[in-house]
Amino acid sequence: MKTIKSIFGIAILFMVMLSACNQLGPQSLDEMVVEAKKHVDAVTVEQLKEKLDNGDMILLIDVREPNEFNAGYIPGSVNIPRGVLEFKINNEAFWDAAFLYLPEKDEEIIVYCKKGKRGMLAGETLKKLGFTNVTYLEGAWKKWERTYPDIFEKNLDAMGHDTGGEVGGC
């Protein structure tokens, strides 16, 4: 009888733990984006262009995949795909290879993707990693491309024969 009570008690404890795990955080991408938006401010494409025109010292990170980046990006951007951001942002060898300095924790960083969601999530990630001056580009690459259709760069050397489509779609 004591064994049955013990098994029953363990089963109830296990169910409570599983139930608690399901309540710990966002359950969908949209909920994750809403949560990220609470922690990361936005800049408009007009504000970014003004910063670029003024020569402001900013680190502009494009978190799209390389095939998306190579097809067109905002001048001065560094490509760090969202999936490897945590691994590269503090990697001195990565920055040396890009002929740039390792970013300071209080440096102004603006992140963007294709439409905005990956940028918001990347901004939140950078804040969690201790970067304090992070914003995301509202409207992202698509808004920049529509607003300033003649102000972009392409990386034709890296494009090669890669016909992979966009990744993530966000």
Q: Would you state the pLDDT for residue 34?
A: 86
Element (H, E) at 52: helix 45-54
Q: What is the mean pLDDT of residues 93-102?
A: 95
Task: Using pLDDT thresholds of 50, 70 and 90, give the confidence band for residue 49.
Answer: very high
Q: With a cut of 70, say whether residue 169 has pLDDT above it.
A: no
Q: Are 110 and 73 in contact (CB under 8 A)?
A: no
Q: Would you state the pLDDT for residue 161?
A: 42
Which tens digit of pLDDT belongs to each residue from 10-37?
A: 656 555 555 555 556 558 988 988 888 8
Q: What is the mean pLDDT of residues 98-120?
A: 96
Q: With a cut of 80, say whether residue 8 has pLDDT above it.
A: no
Model confidence, pTM: 0.78
Q: At residue 92, what is the residue type?
A: E
Give the CA dihedral 155, 156, 162, 168, nearest 10 degrees.
30
Q: Say what percent of the chain tops pLDDT 90.
A: 69
- Would you call 148 exposed, middle or buried from its count of C-beta atoms within 10 A (0-12, 13-18, 19+)? middle
The 8 Å CB, 24+ separation contacts for 23-32 are 29/117, 29/170, 32/121
Q: Would you state the pLDDT for residue 163?
A: 46
* Side-chain half-sphere CA neighbours of 67 within 13 A: 10
- List, in order of start, the domains of the chain with CATH numbers: 40-159 (3.40.250.10)
